[in-house]
Every structure is written in structure tokens, then in C-alpha cells.
Amino acid sequence: MTEAPQRGDIAVLDAPTSAPPYGSKATTALVVVALAAVGASGWVATMMSPETTRLAFDGFVRIDGVSRLFLLLINLVFLGIATYVWGRVYSTPALQDTIGHYVGFALVFMTASNLAIVSNHMLVFWLLLEASTLAAVPLIQYRGHHTSRAASWKYLLFSSVGLTLALLGLSCIGRSMELGSAQHATFFIDATGPLIRTSDDHWRRLGLVLVLLGFGTKLGLAPMYSWLPDAYDAAPPATTALLAAVQFNVALVAVLRVMQAYGMADAALVSGELVSLGLATMAVSALNVLAARNYKKLIAYAALNHAGVIAVGLAVGKDAAYGVLLYAVSNAFIKAILFLTAGKIRVHYQTEQISEVSGLIKDLPYSGSLFMIGTFALLGLPPFGSFLGELMIMSALVASSYLLVFGSFCVVLTVTFVATGRAIFPMIWGEPKKQAHWGRQPVATILPKLLFFVALVAMGLYLPDGINGLFRRAAAELGAP
Amino acid sequence: MNFLLLGYLIVVVVPLLAASWRVSLLGLALQGLLLGWIALRSHHGLSPLSGIVLADCVILRGLVAPKILHRILTTHNTPRRNDVIPANLFSWVLVAGIVLASFRFATELSEVQPSNPLHLATVTAALLLALLVLSSQTSMFSQMVGLLRLENAVALFELLPASHESVLVQLGLSLVFLLTALLFGRFLRAELRSGSTSTPRRSHVTL
């Protein structure tokens, strides 16, 4: 599809004189809600007894270290995306007519995502993840052409199969509890521990395998990953950022909850499955990055690599817990920066072909710089949080004697590193193919990416005590010493 | 109970051998009705929870979901033929093999974990056959049928333990199923309208 009337790349603070009435109302509401959500999650994260786990609403709501960290993360990313959408609609009147529906579904998506993260009941978590999936379908379809419809169908199909397998897995675990001494099943995370039998239990083991495979589908883990590059490519950049930085982390929290509730009794099984899924995903990602000709798809395949690294980190367990969290949070910001910037590049060049884009740093200095920074962070270079997180995961692999996994991990990472650099660096530093055209760009579309950049650097260099405490508390709940 | 499970197995297998979308939808409707019957037999006494489970099986899975798809296909005069699995001897042998393997798996699992082998075999066969449909078909309608079969198989597995402790959770599960069926209807309608052409429906401007 083609894009809005072209604009250049320099950030100019003055706004267009006539603001679209309806579009700006809907998007202003989106920004206000996002601000309120960031305020509320910030309050929950820092003020509401940050050292304790709280239950509310008959035990259905759980506020602990993991939920505090991820609530704050997804709402910060949402605020950035909402600001970006506001800026796009403000500067592009043609978007006014359809933005109302987009905002509505985005709010449903975010409500379901927030509630899922604070859910203390695995079936309710599953329901909310499914609800956010259904709300994401119209967001992917926003462009309204055949490709986006096909991609959204693929997304729905794979998500539904994955979530149905996860539901089946939860039912198997429920059956295991009923056959145990307790004679009844519960899906409340805090009440599960005493009901999990320590003996060899086929139902529980089968259930765990299915649940991890099912939720792994939402993370984009192999073998059910093929929806991800298509959906990320066909969706508008704002939706892609929502899927990659928000829904990905909700699915990650689902996996963390499964490990908290059921994983301890079958640690070896969980670890083995996660290592297999993680390494397979990294290998698939490396091969596809090598073959990628489309920069948005290339970022999507690199995002698969991140999912693989996180799965391997989770497999190592407590020693890598802090590193996994740092890596996951960093990657949410990296993906938001890269996908939102990719949208800007698409608008400017009218193409997503890598070979058609060259000299970004001269042609689009702001987007080019952000794309360069995002790529460095994507590749795990210092001083970003992703570097530190990856380093911690690798040292935990060695410390836990996963030497073969460590070797494979390094080989695949190197291939991905070289392939990504080979494709993206000429885009940034090559000779410009278009005449430099520095027109206006609302500050609202650049500001969120700059803030994400600051957060990324902060995670690599210095984390304030309050934020570091959040990471430490969440890691401790995953077993970190 | 066993005759109901055998009946379920028959309505899972037979539509695979008939290459017609009407038979596929009839199979889904019968699966829903049989699920309702099994739910009625396994929930002793009428409670709000058993009422919701019954409505979910009979009304949503047995009537609403197949009806939505049926109405859309009828409106668009869709040709009668629709292969749920490839119509060849290899696929039919595969179906038979899956059913036999499911019984073998259920018998072995029942020896180490107490459970009804026929129930387990029916669920396993229904699940694997749904995955066979999903993996062998590329048309949107066939994939929808595969997915609905998969969801029905999971619903059958959930019926016997009756492990959902909350009416609200069960209501949520039913609501999600209804929304999924409605979304399927939207996709199918759009697919049949556009055929295989890639005609943009909306403006070229995007976020």
C-alpha cells in the first residue's frame, strides 16, 4: 500500500494550523488514557508496597514483582505508540475517517493486556490473552487490503490453535490435580503449589508441554512462528509495535506464570522444552534474516531471534532470571523504536525493499539515526540493556554447564549479527538514492522514540534504585538469588 | 455414556470422507449437540454452571457457529464440493491410522493414570484429526472447520473432569467462542466477496 503525503524528517515543533476535529479527539483520548495508565502503573510499581505480593478481588488480581514491572513496561510503550498515532493523525488529515475504530480496538486490546498481567487465575489469563488477540485482528487489518486480511487471518488461526493447545494443557494440569490427593483442581496461581504432586505425573507433564507450546506460539517460538513475520509486515507500524512490544510481553508473563505455578515440579522438562524451542527459533530466525529482502520482515525475523534468546534464558532458570527480564524489557523498547521508524522510512521511500533504501543517515537524519541506534541495540551492542541482558544469559549458560547450548547459541547469534548488519548497514550509510527532503515532522512522532532510546541506554549504564528494585523483585519471584 | 462417545467419534470421522461443506457443518452441529448431551449426563443436577456449559455446547457450538458459516456460504452460492482432507486413499488410511493410534494411546495411558479409555481415545482422535485438517488445507473455510473441530475436542476433554470452578470463567470461555465464530463469519464473507483478487477496500493512507 502507499502512504500519506510525503513529509521529510526534521522535527519541527510548530503544528499544522487546522487540526482534524474527530481524529484528534479520538487520538487525544488515546493519549490521555495512555497517560493515565502510565500514572496508575507507576503508582502500583513504586508506591503500593513494592516489596510484597498483594491479592485483590477474591484473589483474581495479583500485584507482585512481575506484574508491577510488566504493567509499567507495556503502558510506557503504549503511551509512546499513542503519541505516535496522535502525531500521525494530526499531520495526515486523510487518517481522520477511520481512526475512531482503530482507537476503540486499541483500547480494548490494552485493557485486556493490562488485566491479563495482573491476573492471578490461569484460565482468566488465557481468556484475556484470547480477548487481546481478537481485538488485535482489526488493528492488523487496518490497511484493508488483501495482504493485511490474509496476514490477520494467519495471525488469528495460529493464535487460536496455540491458545487452544494451551487451554488443553491447562485442562490436563487440572486433571492431574483432581487425580491427586486434593481431589479438586484450581487455577489460582497462589493456590496451585500445594496441589501439584511431586511424583511422576503424566497428565501434568503432558499439560506443561502443551501449555508452553501454546503460549510459545504467541511469542513466535518455532514451530508455530510463521504468523509473526507476515502479521508484523502487513500491519501498520503502530499495530506492529503493539504486537511486538505489548502482546509479546503479555505472552511472556503467561509463560512466567506457568513456570511460577507449575514449573518447579518438572523443572527438567520445562527447561528441555524451552531450550529446544528457543534454539530452533533462533536457527529459523538466522536463516530467514539471511534471506530477507524486506526490512520490516527482517526486523520481524530478528524479533523471532529475541524470542528464542528469552526462551533459552528462561530454560537456564534462576541464574539468568535478571538477565532475561532486562533483555525482555530492552527488546520491547528496541522493537517499538524500529517498527515505528520503519513506518517513517516506508512513508518516505514508498517501499519496504532493502535494496531500494540507501543513505538513511543523510536522507532522513532523525529516522536514520534512530534506525541505526535501534539496529545497534537489536544486535546486542553496548551500552544498551539488551547487551547486558544477553551477557547475563550467556554467563548463566556457562555457569549452569549448558556448554553445548552455549556453543549453538553463540554460532546462531553470530550468523544473525552478520546477516542483519550486512542488510541494514548499507541502508543507513550507503549513498542516498533520493534527494534529501527535510520537511516538517511533528515532534510527537519523534519524542516517544527518543524516550525509548533513553530508557535503553539507562538499562545498559545506570538504573535508578527504584527501577532496579522492580527488576530485582521480579527476578527473585522467578527464583533468582 | 459410551454410546455418546462412539457417536461423537462417528460424527468426527464421517464428514472427513464426504467432500461437502454442508456435511462438514452438519458434522460440527452434531458434535455440539452430542457435547451438550454428554454435558447433561456428566453434570449431576442442574446448576448455573451446568446450564452455561449446556448452552455453550448446544446453542453456540451446535447451532450458532455452524449457522453463521452456513448462511454466508449459502448467500454466496458456494459450490457444494469442499475437501476437508485431500480426497485420496493415503488420507483415508491416515485417518484410520490416527483413530487406531488414539485407541492404543488411550489404553496405555489408562493403565498408568486412571481415566475412561474410550473418552480419552475419542478426544485424542478428534484432536489429531482436527490438526490433520488444519495442516492439510489452505482454504479459509476448511481451516475454520479444522479450528472449530479442535475447539470442540478440547471442550469434550473438559467435560468429564468439570474442573472450571467459576461460572464467570465458563461465561468468559463461551463469550470468547462466540466472538471467534463471529470473526470467522466476517473473514469468510470478506474472502468470498473478494475471491483471490487483492483489491484495496480503503484509502492508501495508514498509520
Mean pLDDT calculated for residue range A276-301: 95
- pLDDT for residue A17: 41
Mean of the per-residue pLDDT values for chain A? 88
| Residue A52 Cα, gap to closest chain B Cα (Å) | 27
| Cell numbers 456435511: residue | B23
Task: Please say if the pLDDT value at position B48 is more than 90.
Answer: no
More confident residue, B183 or A362: B183
pLDDT of B97 > 50? The answer is yes
> Which amino acid does the sequence have at A476?
A
Query: pLDDT tens across A1-35, in order?
Result: 334 433 333 333 333 444 445 557 899 999 999 99
Q: By the 8 A CB rule, do B35 and B159 touch?
A: yes
Contact (CB<8Å) A124/B197: no
Q: What is the 3-state secondary structure (H, E, C) of chain B?
A: CHHHHHHHHHHHHHHHHCCEHHHHHHHHHHHHHHHHHHHHHHCCCCCHHHHHHHHHHHHHHHHHHHHHHHHHHHHCCCCCECCCCCCCHHHHHHHHHHHHHHHHHHHHHHHHCCCCHHHHHHHHHHHHHHHHHHHHCCCHHHHHHHHHHHHHHHHHHHHCCCCCCCHHHHHHHHHHHHHHHHHHHHHHHHHHHHCCCCCCCCCCCCC
Q: Does B161 sit within 8 Å of A4, measured CB to CB? A: no
**Residues A136-183: tens digit of each pLDDT:** 999 999 887 888 999 999 999 999 999 999 999 999 998 888 877 666
pLDDT of residue A436: 58
% of chain B surpassing 90 pLDDT: 65
Residues B18-27 pLDDT 10s: 889 999 999 9
Q: What percent of chain A has pLDDT over 70?
A: 91
B114, B165, B202 ranked by CB distance to A179: nearest:
B114
User: Dmax of chain B from CA atoms?
Assistant: 62
Residues of B with CB under 8 A from a CB of A: 109, 112-115, 127, 134, 140, 143, 147, 150-151, 154, 157-158, 161, 163-165, 169, 172-173, 176, 179-180, 183, 187, 190-191, 194, 197-207
Distance CA B5, CA B41 (A): 12
- For residue A329, the model assigns a pLDDT of 96
Q: How far apart are CA B119 and CA B22, in angstroms?
A: 27
Q: Give the helix/strand (H/E) hosting A405.
A: helix A403-429
In percent, the amount of chain A with pLDDT more than 90 equals 63
What are the chain A neighbours of B154 within 8 Å (beta carbons)?
A: 164, 167-168, 171
Crossing angle for the helix pair B140-159 and B167-194, nearest 10 degrees? 170
Nearest CA among A352, A307, A339 for reference residue A452: A339
Q: Which of A244, A256, A394 shows the shortest CA–CA distance to A331?
A: A244
Q: Which pLDDT score, from 0 to 100, does residue B196 have?
A: 45
Q: Which of residues 347-386 of A touch B (CB under 8 A)?
A: none
Please tell me the total number of residues recorded for chain B in this structure.
Answer: 207
**Res A293 pLDDT > 50:** yes
> Do the Cβ atoms of B84 and B142 come closer than 8 Å?
yes
A283 pLDDT tier (thresholds 50, 70, 90): very high
**Would you call B169 and A123 a contact, using CB atoms and an 8 Å cutoff?**
yes
**Confidence bin at A480 (pLDDT 50/70/90):** confident
Q: Which three cell numbers stand for residue B10?
A: 462417528
- Which residue of B lies nearest to A97 if distances are taken between CA atoms? B203
Would you say residue B64 has pLDDT above 80? yes
Q: What is the C-alpha R_g of chain B?
A: 18
Average pLDDT over every residue of A230-253: 96
B138 Cβ contact partners less than 8 Å away, ≥ 6 residues apart:
none
| Cα A153 to Cα A137, A148, B190, B204, distances in angstroms | 8, 8, 11, 21
CA distance to partner chain B, nearest, from residue A427 (Å): 22
Query: Where is pLDDT greater, at A221 or B168?
Result: A221
pLDDT of B68 over the 60 cut: yes
A464: left (phi over 0), alpha (psi -120 to 50) or beta: beta
**Per-residue model confidence (pLDDT) at position B159:** 82
DSSP tag of A15: P
Q: What does the pLDDT read at residue A347?
A: 82
Q: How far is CA A388 from the centre of its chain?
A: 18
User: Which of A196-205, A222-231, A450-459, B156-165 bottoms out in mean pLDDT, i.e. has the lowest?
Assistant: B156-165
What are the residue ranges of helices labelled H in A198-247?
202-219, 227-234, 237-241
For the segment A42-55, the average pLDDT, to the nearest whole number, is: 79
For A34-46, the pLDDT digits (tens) are: 999 999 999 998 8
Chain A / chain B CB contacts < 8 angstroms: 118
Q: Which three cell numbers stand for residue A330?
A: 530492552
Mutate to test the interface with A, among B152, B158, B165, B207 (most CBs of A within 10 A): B207
pLDDT one-digit tens code per residue, A242-263: 999 999 999 999 999 999 888 7
Cβ atoms of A292 and A255 closer than 8 Å: no
The ipTM is 0.91
Average pLDDT over residues A213-225: 95
Cα end-to-end distance, chain A, whole Å: 51
Q: By CB neighbour count within 10 A (0-12 exposed, 13-18 middle, 19+ buried), where does A163 fall?
A: buried
Q: Per residue in A56-91, pLDDT tens?
A: 888 899 999 999 999 999 999 999 999 999 988 888
The answer, yes or no, to whether residue B199 has pLDDT greater than 50, is no
| Alpha carbon distance A301, A296 (integer Å) | 9
Least confident of A148-157, A351-360, B147-156, B183-192: A351-360
Task: Let me know: does A142 contact A102? Beta carbons within 8 Å.
Answer: yes
Taking the CA of residue A433 and the nearest CA in chain B, the distance in Å comes to: 23
Does residue A399 have a pLDDT over 70? Answer: yes
Lowest mean pLDDT among A190-199, A378-387, A417-426, B198-207: B198-207
Using DSSP, state whether A247 is helix, strand or coil. helix
Q: Which of A42-56, A305-319, B76-90 shows the lowest per-residue confidence on average (mean pLDDT)?
A: A42-56
